[in-house]
Chains A and B, each alone.
Chain A
């Protein structure tokens, strides 16, 4: 399982250019983070994978097959999707939200619900909350449910659209940890969209930084990008000049202590 963007572009009927000539391969079981400001085309790119957006040029391939050859609805059901905050179905109980896709694909409701309860537990939600409606959960809980829902049909691919954007930093951190742990166990192929560079670095094996109009500013592993920002735009975007990015070591009693740009100690070099 791998996803390949082959020279894709998207120009909307009103003339807005969202993406131009984008190529990239996401190997199986890896996480690609698309990061950029609004208008950078990152969401458009992600939505091409499940054909929520059709590219005007180029093609998207999954395991070497052009997604345009696949039935839209079947394709979408085979791909896990974690929407932004507020994407749960407000009129369905939490457990039925999680069971949505299995029920759509014909799993008996009873079995789908049982599986959904187990999944809720796995993402850290008390199965007793399954009887509630989404509005009765906190924002962080709702996003955990959204992750469980995306996993319910056991997809190989997960698309995540700013999944933790609307929760406060501490909750977001917990959700990110959870996702990393799940990913270590499940090894999905993930495309994650975010505007938060720290989230992209934390979750992405590979990070693509996009400029306005879907032009790639830099592609690489987080380490590569931090080590060698391609240009001023990337330096600025990743905050390379921020105190906490410019670390150095000082020698204290024979040990190497790492300090940040303001000279505050961060830790000890082992």
Chain B
């Protein structure tokens, strides 16, 4: 605890950096994965290619990705943008399949009835498909969130500051308290974001909390 007391500002600064890197990566992952998932669900043949490439991308280890991306995009290796792009690629690859499943989880009878009532194509997407896909989608977003927050730490290995710096710095200077603080801080951030997602899920899907009817048919 004494180490933490002495380095409160540093830790808070790194925590803030960590949030700044992980949250945009998560948001971009969700946006891109939902679009890809929709495409994959709508056109299954193209979907096989899209989801196949996604899983192939996902099998590229994160640290090498951090090194390849700046070369490909011509951005500096040590910039936060590199990490955000790498983690967004990673998160998208992880989430695209789930997003396709999420659209697939929407009851076909409900979609049909909505279409027959006269929802336009856009209306069907925004008012029917997306809201009903939220539960499955959210389970995937939670996985991506925890994984992304944890992965941000490896940025420290190439010099992108985050709570990961506590891990590398603690190792090099032999300060266990610093590493423990880094580990717990990362986990705490992951758990907090996860809890926020669960709460958000409750707010946007009020119908799921409603108690179902009794046995009557």
Direct A–B touching, Cβ under 8 Å: yes
Q: What residues of chain A have their CB less than 8 Å away from a CB belonging to chain B?
A: 47, 50, 52, 73-78, 81, 83-92, 100-101, 104, 132-133, 135-141, 149, 159, 166-168, 171
List chain B residues, Cβ under 8 A from A141: 213
**CB-nearest residue of chain B to A92:** B207
Question: What residues of chain A lie closer than 8 Å to B206, measured between beta carbons?
Answer: 133
A132 to B114, CA, bound (A): 19
Chain B residues whose CB sits within 8 angstroms of the CB of A104 once the complex forms: 117-119, 123
Docked Cα-Cα span, A100 to B110, in Å, equals 13
- Set B109, B114, B210: member contacting A135, Cβ < 8 A: B210
- State whether the Cβ of B169 lies closer than 8 Å to any Cβ in chain A: no
Contact assessment for A133 and B207 in the assembled complex, using a CB-CB cutoff below 8 Å? yes
Check if B7 is an interface residue, CB within 8 A of chain A: no
The complex places the Cα of A47 from the Cα of B112 at a distance, in Å, of: 11
- Given A87-B109, A90-B107: A136 and B212 interface contact (C-beta under 8 Å): yes
Interface membership of B113, Cβ < 8 A? yes
Q: How far is the CA of A211 from the CA of B116 in the complex (A)?
A: 25
Identify B120's interface contact among A47, A73, A84, CB under 8 A: A73
Given contacts A133-B210, A137-B213, A138-B217, 13 further A-B contacts (CB under 8 A): A52-B112, A74-B118, A76-B115, A76-B118, A83-B116, A87-B113, A88-B113, A89-B114, A91-B132, A92-B207, A104-B123, A135-B212, A171-B217
Give Cα distance in the complex from A73 to B205, angstroms. Answer: 27
User: How near does chain A come to B116, taking the closest CB pair, in angstroms?
Assistant: 4
Which residues from chain B contact A101 at a C-beta distance below 8 Å? 117-118
Is A76 a contact partner of B207 (Cβ separation < 8 A)? Answer: no
| CB nearest to B108 among chain A residues | A86
Measured in the bound complex, the distance between the Cα atoms of B120 and A76 in whole Å is 10
B118 pairs with A77, CB closer than 8 A? yes
| Chain A CB within 10 A, most for which of B128, B205, B216 | B216
Contacts of B123 in A (CB 8 A): 104
Interface 0/1 of B98-111, CB less than 8 Å to A? 00000000010110
Q: B52 on the interface (CB 8 Å rule)?
A: no
Residue of B nearest to A146 (CB): B113
Distance (whole angstroms) from the CB of A116 to the closest CB of chain B: 14
Known: A133-B207, A137-B213, A168-B217. A89 touches B110 (CB 8 A): yes
Are A50 and B116 in touch, CB under 8 angstroms? yes
Q: Are B109 and A138 within 8 A (Cβ)?
A: no
CB of A138 within 8 A of CB of B107, answer: no
Which residues from chain B contact A159 at a C-beta distance below 8 Å? 116
A73 touches B217 (CB 8 A): no
Q: Which residues of A contact B116 (CB under 8 A)?
A: 47, 50, 52, 76, 81, 83, 159
Instruction: Decide if A52 touches B113 in the complex (CB within 8 Å).
Output: no
A84 CA to B109 CA, complexed, in Å? 8
Q: Which of B112, B113, B131, B210 contacts A136 (CB 8 A)?
A: B210
The answer to whether B115 and A135 have CB atoms under 8 Å apart is: no
In the assembled complex, the CB of B96 is this many whole angstroms from the nearest CB of chain A, namely 24
Q: Which residues of B contact A81 (CB under 8 A)?
A: 113, 116-117
Contact A138 B212 (CB under 8 A): no
Which of chain B's residues has its CB closest to A83's CB? B113
In the assembled complex, B2 has its CB within 8 A of some CB on chain A? no
| 25 A/B residue pairs, CB under 8 Å, sorted by A | A73-B119, A76-B115, A76-B117, A81-B113, A83-B112, A83-B113, A83-B116, A84-B109, A86-B107, A87-B110, A87-B112, A87-B113, A90-B110, A90-B132, A91-B132, A91-B207, A101-B117, A101-B118, A104-B123, A132-B210, A135-B213, A136-B211, A138-B213, A138-B217, A149-B117
What sequence of 0s and 1s flags, for each residue 120-150 of chain B, a beta carbon within 8 Å of any chain A beta carbon?
Answer: 1001000010011000000000000000000
